[in-house]
Chains A and B, each alone.
Chain A
Amino acid sequence: MIQEKELSEKFTKLLQKLNDASDKKQMSMLLDHPWHSPNEGIWLKKRENLSIYGTEFYDYATEEERQRLSIMETATWWHTFVVFENLVTEYYLKIINHESLKAFPEVVRYMHHFCREEVTHALVFRKAMKHFNIPPFPVPDNLKDFYKDNASIIEFPLKAIFLTILMEWFAENNAMLDCNNDFVSPLSRAIAVEHHKEEARHIEWGKLMMREFIEVVPDFLDDAREYTAPFMRNLLDMATCNPETYDRVGFTHPAFQDYERLFETVLFSENRKQINRKIMEPLIRFFIEIEVYTPDYHEIWEAARFGEDIEFVLEKERRKIVENDNLLEIPISHV
């Protein structure tokens, strides 16, 4: 019985550490960001991470359009965070109220911190959009559905927690990679870094929840082996580009009118492949560790275009290259 399970010593210690860290310091919407930063002519993400970088469409765009794209692509991302942070809070509060984790009061205590932090993050992202005069974006239906339709199909909430950490981890890696450069606005960088400090704790908590409960939740692993690869692929592709962002930039070159060609070029570009690999590498190591990925399911990962990324990670393992994926131990300057 799950409710009779005793938490491991390792998990208990981490919970204590996380609860202490959240008790001590949580993000402030007012104090932790340089809101006085200028908002004219700045870039919100680095040039190399623009969706069109490394493709013919980058050459078709003017420098002003590229700069606007850096704003719109980051703002789409911020707005997606606003929506998801709210969704996560709703789900986690539902889990708390449902009392399915009542037997683990320290877990529930951390979930309260988690929700408080997610609410603040959403407020910060909304404030940032206002600061740069960017109206809200419509969030693609598909993006909402993937979480809503799948996280809600639960009894013990491990699947909801798993889907949440996948999104948080992937989004976190993406956001940090987008602006780990002096070229971008100090405010944009601070938003990513301050967010990262709390998200790193959320992600490590989620990873340990998986390690702690994966064995005792029936069918979780079989199910996760089927959906994780297509879920991740959809997240990556939908986070890379969307029609609204390109519309708002208002590219003048006629090539941008052909959306099908534009999207296909962007999604399958070598530059995007390399960025996605950096985003996915630690996640894939985690999937291998908890056996969400096993060679028996390789075809599903291949079909979701992760075949080469899996091979890349496995090759590192064969060469005994050990990476530290514990976000609480990695200095922010290295993320």
Chain B
Amino acid sequence: MSEITEIEKPSEILKTVDEVIASMQYRFHPENCTNLKAIYQWQLKNPDRNFYISIDCGTFQITEGEHPSPNVTVETDTEVYLKLVNGQMKDVIAVVTGKLRVRGSISTAQKLNRIFI
């Protein structure tokens, strides 16, 4: 197993999805995905916004829209997404209360926690 780097929550509150996307280059930890090729799709509601992140062995690219066959799809609403990103809601609470739906491979999904925060 490769060395895992601990990542901390962002020190500033991210107020919009655009701010979250812009911050990703600073929150990306390539050393935690050196062997990973995967597509993570986000489907946000209220307001609607779809984008996906392609991880390719230590690099990433963000694309607006829907990928035809993502490995993992995360569905939630924008407010919950921002709370999760800012550490204002635990992901377990979002899952149990039905506010967050994660579809696809669990092992790929759980890697995301260490690629971006």
Residues of A participating in the B interface, judged by any CB pair closer than 8 Å: 140-142, 145-146, 149-150, 153, 223, 225-227, 230-231, 233-234, 237-238, 240-243, 259-260, 263-264, 267, 296-297, 299-300, 303
Contacts and interface: CB of A to CB of B under 8 A. Distances in A.
Contacts of A297: 1
27 contacts: A141-B98, A142-B100, A142-B101, A142-B102, A145-B101, A145-B103, A149-B104, A150-B105, A153-B105, A225-B1, A226-B106, A226-B107, A227-B105, A234-B95, A237-B92, A238-B95, A240-B96, A242-B98, A243-B98, A259-B97, A263-B93, A264-B93, A267-B92, A267-B93, A296-B1, A297-B1, A300-B110
B106 A227 contact: yes
Interface residues of B, number: 22
Contact of B90 (A225, A231, A264): A264
Given A240-B96, A242-B98, 10 more contacts: A141-B101, A142-B95, A150-B105, A230-B109, A233-B92, A237-B92, A238-B96, A241-B96, A264-B90, A267-B96
Contacts of B90: 264
A273 B111 CA distance: 25
B102 A145 contact: yes
B113 interface: yes
Majority secondary structure, A binding face: helix
Contacts of A237: 92, 95-96
Interface in B1-33: 1, 4
B89 interface: yes
Nearest to B4: A299
Contacts of B98: 140-142, 242-243
A240 B93 CA distance: 12
Given A145-B102, A260-B89, A227 B107 contact: yes
B95 to A, nearest CB: 6
Interface of B: 1, 4, 89-90, 92-93, 95-98, 100-107, 109-111, 113
Contacts of A231: 106
Contacts of B106: 146, 149-150, 226-227, 230-231, 234
Majority secondary structure, B binding face: mixed
Contacts of A146: 106
A238 B94 CA distance: 11
Contacts of A240: 96
A149 B103 CA distance: 7
B107 A263 contact: no
A243 B103 contact: no
B3 to A, nearest CB: 10
A238 B92 CA distance: 9
Contacts of B100: 142
B38 to A, nearest CB: 12
Nearest to A234: B95
